[in-house]
Amino acid sequence: MPLLFSYGTLQQDNVQLSTFGRLLGGRADDLVEFEMAMLRIEDPDVIATSGKTHHPIVKFNGDAASRVPGTVFEISEAELASADRYEVAAYKRVLAKLSSGRQAWVYVDARFAPPD
């Protein structure tokens, strides 16, 4: 099953219920080599789901000391596709390393994504 790391609205119960149809169980972890910023959301459906006009977004900086706290979830491929539909175009899904040593999918600022 894929791992999905969330540092923002995908940790909210209402967003999980709307996006996945269930509440997810997860574990605390940290995203490595990224820093946090905020993004203004324009999509009214996303705003209605999250209840927020600004969402957190992360930018790759390559600094091994940089950490973004969040939660890692085990989800299905179908749920990963649902998460793709929830996220707006400013986000890009990439595979990234966590402080636990695992790798997980995470939605990052598409303009500041890590090199492929």
Rounded Cα distance, 52 and 58, in Å: 17
Instruction: Supply φ then ψ for residue 81, to 5 degrees.
Output: -65, -35
Condensed to tens digits (0 to 9), the pLDDT of residues 4-19 reads 999 999 999 999 999 9
Condensed to tens digits (0 to 9), the pLDDT of residues 66-101 reads 999 999 999 999 999 999 999 989 999 999 999 999
SS3 of 46, please?
helix
